[in-house]
Chain A
Amino acid sequence: MKKTKLVQRNQVLFLFTLPILIMYCVFFIVPLLMGMKNSFTDWSGTSADYNFIGIQNYIKIFQDERFRNALVFNFKYTFLLTVATVVISLIVAIVLNQKIKARGFFRSIYFLPAILSLVTVGLIWNELFYRMIPAIGEATGWGLFQSSWLGSPKLAMYAILIVNLWQGCATPIVLLIAGLQSVPVDLYEAASIDGASAWEKFKSITIPYLIPVLNMVIVTCVKGGLTTFDYIKAMTDGGPMQSTESVGILIYNHAMQEGKFGYSVAESMILFVIIALVSVVTMRMSNSKKVGD
């Protein structure tokens, strides 16, 4: 009797998930499969006919220096973005969690960048980099500030990173503040009685409680870093001299501007596999340190 009820309940629950499942299939799985088919063709994106060329696109991609450079850029960018986001958000969150004056005001200030549209942010910083950096250089005489960072192949990536962090840290800060407030105060008290230092308390109490939040922050950062597109599009469009060409930008350029649709789909398939692998690894790594396990 009890078992049939459970089955019935599961069936009802399944019915509830059905609409979203169908939508997921129609709008995600089906295009994915269609894309997979396209990646084995030489379709230009507009022509009426195309040829199946097997795995030639994939072979070419693995020999393509431009793709390799883009991939290296992606990994470098993702690593820096993730580390910087975690460190900066954690520090700001801890400071904003103290009993300081005008705490609410500061919390809103730090969240402000998140509500701006990305393109607006890109345009604002474009102007800042172009007009302000040289002005700083003139005033101080520092070589690093002589010219806009966006115009330098060596510094453009860091310029984009700064903008990304400026806007991208806002949400993690809010999440981490919430996480910090969930840590039971009595644990800190107990630790103090046992003579633990501030660092020991942070390491053994705060961090384990924050792991679920950090986990999410890291995974979204890694995914965001690997698929990064919009900041670059708005600020350098892959330039100067292709020094900020991420895989996302490369895929877009190949598909929309250079008429190599099949090739670009093959590139996105490779990126898809890479992101899946990296996400699994990061989740495994950070999950093992969670409280209660």
Chain B
Amino acid sequence: MKAKKVTALLISAVLATGLLAGCGSSGDSNGGESAAGNSGKIELEFFTQKREAADTFDKIIAEFNASQDEIVVTQNIVPDSTSVLMSRAATGDLPDIIQVGGMQDSNTMQFMKEGHFLDLTGMDCLNQVVDNYKEAIKFKGKNYVVPISANFSGVYYNKDKFEEKGYTVPKTYDELIALAQKMQVDGETPFLFPDKDSWTLVQCWEDNIDGSARGDRKQVYMDIANGTTTFQDDALFAETLQKVIEIRQYGQGDTLALGYDQAISDFATGKSCMFMQGIWALPSIKKANPEMNIGMFSFPSNSGDTKVSMGIDVNLAISAKCANADAAKKFVEFAASKEMVQLYVDNDYSLPCMKDVTANIPDAQEIVDLVEGGKGALQATALPKAVSDERQNTIQKVIVPEGGEDVNSFLTKLSEVFAENKDEFLELYGE
């Protein structure tokens, strides 16, 4: 009996030392300042939500910690970060510096609305933001976030297939349809649509087709909220949704059965010529088939005056309750400096939000060129949650041939829900 107890104690002791050792080594990797706690330095917590960005942020943090000797920043990354952040906000214990999503993300908006973020207006790095985006990132005339990088949607295409069959990248919508028809004649599948995951369907409409034709959505949402137009009366919404339905006939068939992950592996293994998604799918496609030659173009509009629908991918914010706000601002300035943003976008296939930084995405060069030519439209307006939920929950009905819903009644329902929740929208974006 006694022997057992001793063994148990020993095991616990070994486990405990193991844990401590683990902590120590992770501290080391964060800049070799493991003894910082007792040397009177300011300690800051940096909370990352984007898992893929953790390694890059580790590098940035290490450089920051080495560049001065007053502040030590530690990165914290947890599974299911949204709910962690929500509950920490509810208990008034937000991390000092938080990486949040863009202004098109309703969670980010909720935090701003509830006053969880520090007012950053007047920080130097904000002058460095690309001029086109400067207004879009403000909330009620003030700055609460510093944008680092932006993502975008488009149409991936299989370069090898295009070369082999002599296809060219379409410039207008009609050219795209003609190309898709030609592909079908050649026995190829033009598109893969993972409509089983309804968010991909929403994104196909909202960003890929509507966004590339319309550009910034803020004005039309304002008009709907003010009652001067509706989803069904706006010419573009009905037209673009109709296109969503029309291009489904060039899909793999049975689109409601295919999920996002399956679609990525199918596209990577050459089962289709094109695939509409955001840039975030690129790492997964490359992982599924490292040898593949990929290109990407923005979904062409009728006239050929195609824009690129973008959203801010990574924003930095500081908690309103941060005890060392000046130190936190110092870190944000550092992370938003030209060199660091360059380091970030080079590792992340994303577009920089700061001036004098070059995007480095050879697989999407066509889109990068468009954005650098001033065709990027940064989406910074979030629909009321009830509207986006309604849209995501019912959009599949529009694309099923039987027992579904027509475009007009779907759009009318969206307008009704918007009208019920317009106060919520006007409170956020109204003048």
Contacts and interface: CB of A to CB of B under 8 A. Distances in A.
Interface of A: 45-48, 126-127, 129-130, 134, 146-148, 150-153, 236-237, 239-242, 256-259
A127 B403 CA distance: 26
Interface stretch (B48-56, B179-187, B210-218, B394-402): B394-402
Contact of A241 (B253, B257, B400): B400
B100 to A, nearest CB: 14
Contacts of B259: 126, 130
B109 interface: no
A240 B254 contact: no
Nearest to B393: A242
Overall SS of chain A's interface: loop
A108 B257 CA distance: 33
A129 to B, nearest CB: 7
B222 interface: no
Given A134-B254, A151-B256, A241 B196 contact: no
B385 A240 contact: no
B339 to A, nearest CB: 36
B343 interface: no
Given A47-B114, A153-B400, A239-B196, A148 B389 contact: no
B196 A240 contact: yes
B257 A239 contact: no
B86 interface: yes
Interface residues of B, number: 30
Given A148-B254, A150-B257, A153-B403, A241 B397 contact: yes
Contacts of B403: 153
27 contacts: A46-B87, A47-B90, A47-B114, A126-B262, A127-B262, A147-B253, A147-B254, A151-B196, A151-B254, A151-B255, A151-B256, A152-B256, A153-B403, A236-B196, A237-B197, A239-B196, A239-B198, A240-B196, A240-B256, A241-B397, A241-B404, A256-B83, A257-B389, A258-B385, A258-B386, A258-B389, A259-B385
B169 interface: no
A240 B400 contact: yes
Interface in B246-262: 253-259, 262
Given A130-B257, A151-B257, A241 B90 contact: no
B110 interface: yes
Given A47-B114, A147-B253, A147-B254, A240 B262 contact: no
Q: Which 9 A-B pairs have the closest CB atoms?
A: A151-B257, A148-B257, A151-B256, A147-B254, A46-B86, A240-B256, A241-B396, A258-B389, A241-B397
Contacts of A150: 196, 257
B120 interface: no
Contact of A45 (B86, B254, B396): B86
Nearest to A123: B261
Contacts of B89: 46, 48
Contacts of A240: 195-196, 256, 396, 400
B110 A46 contact: yes
B385 A130 contact: no
A239 B255 CA distance: 13
A242 B114 CA distance: 32
Nearest to A48: B90
A240 B87 CA distance: 31
A42 B143 CA distance: 30
Contacts of B257: 129-130, 147-148, 150-151
Contacts of B258: 130, 151
Contacts of B394: 241-242
B200 to A, nearest CB: 12
Contacts of B110: 46
Which of A151, A152, A236 has the largest number of chain B CB atoms within 10 A?
A151
A137 to B, nearest CB: 10
Contacts of A134: 254
Contacts of A239: 196, 198, 256, 396
Interface in B110-151: 110, 114
Contacts of B198: 239
Nearest to B397: A241
A257 B389 CA distance: 8
Given A148-B254, A151-B254, A242-B393, 15 more contacts: A45-B86, A46-B86, A48-B90, A48-B92, A48-B114, A134-B254, A146-B254, A147-B257, A150-B196, A151-B196, A240-B196, A241-B397, A241-B400, A258-B385, A259-B385
